[in-house]
């Protein structure tokens, strides 16, 4: 496991003075979905990503914007290794993931990539703390490691402003609080990359702003390469950079 620099949530991040590293790279990525058949029976496809080159650097946050259907979620899905590109390459730090077997990709997803979606898919029967500890369990932690994980979970929940609600279950939390738990959970494995799809779509303006500020803060603190798909133009100035997708291409 990577070093746990969260044990004291009040400690400022020790940010590297080294030049930014591209933690995530997509090179010439094209993604085509099967989309039924033409009248003559030949297969029809939709090109969701068209020769996309994209990278995200450690410790930075990138806003990914663009019209509906332009390919933003597809880019996140390819970056998350949930979908293999039709052509092109995906790299994580110095590793080329393009031809890794699915089992290895699943391991990487658990340990290196944090994913945050619009609706936090928290398990209804678990407390906030247990949601976080479960990720350690799924990673293989047992016995004393789980005790350590529970302490780390407490630290992370404090960091995201949820220390008073660690023993609450999802139905006892507001939408914004659930999203905070979701963010803390994504950080449990100290991911290199955080991929975030419309994290505030279900929230009001104030809560959206707070969640976006929290994403910026954890990006700095944990040195993640964070990519946030958002329709919220107010968020764009908070990001280190914004890239726009149109018709499957980046501009
Ligand atoms: N599973 C799928 N099968 C076929 N086509 C798909 C599939 N998923 C997405 N598409 C198509 O790929 C294109 C890109 O979709 P994508 O969901 O990546 O866009 P988006 O920018 O995230 O849109 P939104 O902002 O509305 O979520 C669209 O034309 C969409 O219809």
For residues 195 and 200, the model is more confident at 195
**ipTM given for this complex:** 0.97
Q: What is the Å distance from ligand 1's center to 246 Cα? A: 12
- More confidently predicted of 26 and 7: 26
> What residue ranges line ligand 1, CB within 6 angstroms?
33, 35, 46, 48, 66, 68-74
Is domain 22-250 annotated with CATH 3.30.750.210?
Answer: no
Residue 206 has pLDDT above 70, yes or no: yes
Residue 2 has pLDDT above 50, yes or no: no
User: What average pLDDT score do residues 4-23 get?
Assistant: 50
Predicted confidence at residue 15, as pLDDT, reads 43
pLDDT for 231: 87
Please give the pLDDT value at position 5: 40
Mean per-residue pLDDT, 113-133:
93
Q: Residue 222's closest CA among 22, 62, 1, 14?
A: 14
Q: Report whether 123 contacts 134 (CB < 8 A).
A: yes
Q: Are 160 and 121 within 8 A, CB to CB?
A: no
For a ligand 1 pocket test, name from 49, 71, 80, 84 the mutation site with the most ligand atoms within 8 angstroms of its C-beta. 71
Distance of CA 57 from the midpoint of ligand 1 (Å): 25
* pLDDT score, position 203: 84
The pLDDT of 89-99, averaged and rounded, is: 93
Tell me the CA–centroid distance for residue 46 and ligand 1, in Å: 9
Residue ID of nearest Cα to ligand 1 atom 1? 33
What is the Å distance from ligand 1's center to 162 Cα?
Answer: 34
Question: Residue 57 has which token pair?
Answer: 């650097």
Q: Is residue 16 over pLDDT 50? A: no
The residue extents of the domains of the chain are 22-250
Q: What is the mean pLDDT of the chain?
A: 90
Task: Please list, in sequence order, all residues whose beta carbon lies within 8 angstroms of the beta carbon of residue 144, skipping any fewer than 6 positions away.
Answer: none
Q: How confident is the model at residue 3 (pLDDT cuts 50, 70, 90)?
A: very low
pTM: 0.89
* More reliable by pLDDT, 222 or 234: 222
- 211, 187 Cβ separation under 8 angstroms: no
User: What pLDDT digit, counting tens, does each position of 39-73 carry?
Assistant: 999 999 999 999 999 999 999 999 999 999 999 99
pLDDT for 157 equals: 97
Determine the Cα–Cα distance for residues 38 and 51; give it in Å rounded to an integer: 24
Does the pLDDT at position 12 exceed 60? Answer: no
């Amino acid at each position: 496991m990577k070093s746990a620099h969260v044990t004291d949530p009040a400690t400022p991040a020790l940010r590297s003075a080294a030049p930014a590293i591209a933690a995530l790279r997509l090179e010439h990525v094209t993604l085509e979905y099967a989309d039924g058949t033409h009248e003559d029976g030949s297969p029809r496809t939709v090109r969701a990503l068209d020769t996309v080159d994209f990278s995200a650097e450690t410790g930075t946050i990138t806003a990914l914007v663009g019209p509906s259907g332009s390919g933003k979620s597809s880019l996140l899905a390819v970056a998350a290794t949930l979908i293999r590109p039709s052509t092109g390459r995906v790299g994580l730090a110095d590793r080329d993931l393009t031809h890794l077997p699915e089992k290895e990709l699943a391991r990487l997803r658990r340990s290196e990539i944090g994913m945050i979606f619009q609706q936090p898919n928290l398990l209804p029967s678990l407390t906030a703390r247990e949601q976080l500890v479960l990720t350690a369990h799924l990673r293989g932690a047992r016995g004393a490691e789980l005790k350590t994980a529970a302490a780390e979970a407490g630290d992370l929940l404090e960091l995201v402003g949820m220390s008073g609600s660690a023993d609450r279950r999802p139905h006892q939390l507001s939408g914004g609080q659930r999203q905070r738990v979701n963010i803390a959970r994504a950080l449990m494995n100290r991911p290199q990359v955080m991929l975030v799809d419309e994290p505030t779509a279900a929230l009001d303006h104030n809560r959206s702003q707070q969640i976006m500020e929290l994403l910026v803060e954890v990006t700095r603190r944990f040195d993640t390469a964070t990519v946030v798909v958002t329709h919220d133009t107010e968020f764009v100035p908070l990001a280190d950079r914004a890239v726009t997708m149109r018709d499957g291409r980046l501009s």
